[in-house]
Amino acid sequence: MNTESTPIRIQPVILCGGSGTRLWPLSRSGFPKQFLCLTGEHSLFQQAVLRLNSLADSRWQLGAPYVVTSEAHRFLVQEQLRELAVPLGLALLEPEAKNTAPALTLAALAALEQGDDPILVVTPADQTLSDQAAFHQALSQAMALAADGLIGLLGIPPQGPETGYGYIQTVTDETNGISQVARFVEKPSAAAAEGYLQQGGYYWNAGIFVLRASVWLDALRQQRPEMAQIAQLAWQGRRSEGQFLRPEAQAFARVSAESVDYAVLEPLSAEADHPLRLTPLDAGWNDLGAWDAVWKVLPKDEADNALLGDVLLTQSRGNLVHASSRLVSLVGVDDLVVVETADAVLVAHKTQAQQVRQIVDQLGAQSREEQALHRKIYRPWGWYDCIDQGHRFKVKRIQVKPKASLSLQMHHHRAEHWVVVKGTAQIHCGDKSLLISENQSTYIPLGEAHRLSNPGSIPLEIIEVQSGSYLGEDDILRFEDHYGRQDRGSPLEAPSAGSEGQSPGQPPDLLL
């Protein structure tokens, strides 16, 4: 491969789906684990971005990342990239989760639109690595393979007979430790996993792969022609809004939900002369799939306790305690996972951490908001925290970013009273406009079109007291919005209560 004259374009692709249910109550579908800071000062998504963003050198022309995510998480992606000062290439917004094969297909089609055939470096958004240099070395080997038309996979040397991971079996080593792939094995039994360790030549499947965009699309057309055809139709019907790209929803709904491995790589590995090659990645990899895995990677005290937040304990060993909003104390207990948030507390034995998903399933069956949403809800303009509520009233603390603005909106069933506690608020209410600052307040009558903005250079904080017959988050009608969430073109078109086709009691919209 000759990379000296013209750098080869590298397109990072970050697969940012998944809900991380086994890390509840910190991870929820509205704010899943990839956006959490579980280790260090950056979220797992940000760690993935930084790992890939540091690949640039004279051999490669590194593009801004493509992120495949959901409509509900698009502003989280945008905000966390802004915190890193890393530009977004594209946010490919899946109308519904369809696993990794359709996600990669969207990224490959988008990459080819640029007029060449870049190498896609594809990684999940929810992993952690402790050895950056080892990661770069392994990935450079995989990119060299991809430049020659092969498909490079990164495999993790197994640290034990893990039954929760997929395995990749390899045949005889080639140069520099690179091996040909023999087969894929999905989550084996404990006895089989033990046998793999004794036999050797098996690696954990990290879900990180490197290949040219055209190589993926050709392989997909060969192995899953129907998926390739339907995905192409969804791509042709796409809509663009700045850096947000949406495939056509009805066509995308017909795409089968399959992983990259199951759809393409596994059947490809059965062919005699296939292009799959594996590079070992020994870099302290962990996918943080459950709380016991988080405990393993965190720093610990002399009694093997991993402690985050305001925690006191005595005569306790081997625990993971994560306190988000209050003091948590442990006395005389070992090997527990205790995770406290503002609205939920998890207590589990560390050996049963995989079973947290069963609690999430129960929450879903009962249609409880704790499955999807935290008490503190992030929005593109800032956040709000519901600090108290009762019969016919709700109290929120709201923060608005500098120069940001909520939508011009109205409510059919509630009035609001706003008190500024920090910064300056610009308020439009009906045909009136006013500025209020700390310790000043205003009243928003029921049915009145209104907007809250922060004209200042520091965050604006207000206390909002709602009162009315229905206080659900779905009682909102937008007329103008800076974030593409508009419902109506003018306040004059506002309908009467109930005519929106959305009755009180429906699940809250994650994008409100």
Say whether pLDDT at 342 is over 80: yes
Tens digit of pLDDT for each residue in 1-16? Answer: 444 567 889 999 999 9
- Residue 431 makes CB contacts below 8 A (sequence gap 6+) with none
The reported pLDDT for the residue numbered 492 is: 39
Say whether pLDDT at 273 is over 60: yes
Confidence bin at 487 (pLDDT 50/70/90): low
Say whether pLDDT at 103 is over 90: yes
C-alpha distances in angstroms, 291 versus 38, 124, 200, 255? 10, 18, 28, 33
Query: What is the DSSP secondary-structure string of 380-426?
Result: TTEEEEEEEEETTEEEEEEEE-TT-BPPEEE-SSEEEEEEEEES-EE
Strand residues in 200-256 grouped as ranges (E): 202-212, 239-241, 244-246
Higher pLDDT, 506 or 2: 2
The reported pLDDT for the residue numbered 496 is: 35
Q: What is the pTM of this model?
A: 0.86
**DSSP secondary structure letter of residue 431:** T
Average pLDDT, the chain: 90
For the chain, domain boundaries: 8-280, 291-365, 376-493
Question: Whole-angstrom Cα distance, residue 218 to residue 401?
Answer: 45
The reported pLDDT for the residue numbered 163 is: 86
The packing angle between helices 213-223 and 225-236, to 10°, is 130
Say whether pLDDT at 283 is over 60: yes
Query: Mean per-residue pLDDT for 137-147?
Result: 93
Q: Are 92 and 110 in contact (CB under 8 A)?
A: yes
Confidence bin at 242 (pLDDT 50/70/90): confident
Q: Looking at 22-26, 295-299, 344-348, 471-475, which range is the least confident one?
A: 471-475
Q: Which CATH class is domain 8-280?
A: alpha beta
- Residue 380 makes CB contacts below 8 A (sequence gap 6+) with 75, 78, 79, 404, 482, 483
Query: Mean per-residue pLDDT for 273-288?
Result: 93
Question: Whole-angstrom Cα distance, residue 355 to residue 439?
Answer: 48
25 prior amide bond cis, ω within 30: yes
From edge to edge, which strands make up the β-sheet containing 306-308?
Answer: 306-308, 320-323, 336-340, 345-349
Tens digit of pLDDT for each residue in 382-439? Answer: 999 999 999 999 999 999 999 999 999 999 999 999 999 999 999 999 999 999 999 9
Q: Are 362 and 439 in contact (CB under 8 A)?
A: no
CATH tag, 376-493: 2.60.120.10
The reported pLDDT for the residue numbered 504 is: 37
Higher pLDDT, 114 or 175: 114
